[in-house]
Amino acid sequence: MPAVAEGVYTPQEDSQLLIDVMEKSGLARQSRVADLCTGSGVIAIAAAQQGAAEVSAFDICPRATRYARQQVSLAGADVAVHVGSWARAAEFGPYDLVVSNPPYVPHDPSVEGLDMPATVGPSRAWDAGYDGRLVLDPLCASVKGLLARGGTMLLVQSEFAEPRRTLAALAACGLDAEIVAWQWIPFGPVLSARAQWLEDTGRLDPGRREEELVVIRADKA
pLDDT-derived band of residue 6, with 50, 70 and 90 as boundaries? low
Provide DSSP, the chain. Answer: ----STTSPPP-HHHHHHHHHHHHHTTTTT-EEEEES-TTSHHHHHHHHTT-SEEEEEES-HHHHHHHHHHHHHHT--EEEEES-HHHHTTT--EEEEEE----B---TTSPPP---GGG--GGGTB--TTS-TTHHHHHHHHHHHEEEEEEEEEEEEGGG-HHHHHHHHHHTT-EEEEEEEEEEE--HHHHHHHHHHHHTTSS-TT--EEEEEEEEEE--
pLDDT recorded at residue 4:
61
What's the pLDDT tens digit per position in 27-53? 999 999 999 999 999 999 999 999 999
Domains of the chain with bracketed CATH: 13-219 (3.40.50.150)
- The answer on pLDDT for 115 being more than 60 is no
pLDDT-derived band of residue 119, with 50, 70 and 90 as boundaries? low
pLDDT recorded at residue 206:
95
pLDDT recorded at residue 112:
64
With pLDDT > 70 as the criterion, what percentage of the chain qualifies?
A: 90
- The answer on pLDDT for 5 being more than 70 is no
Q: Give the predicted TM-score (pTM) of the model.
A: 0.91
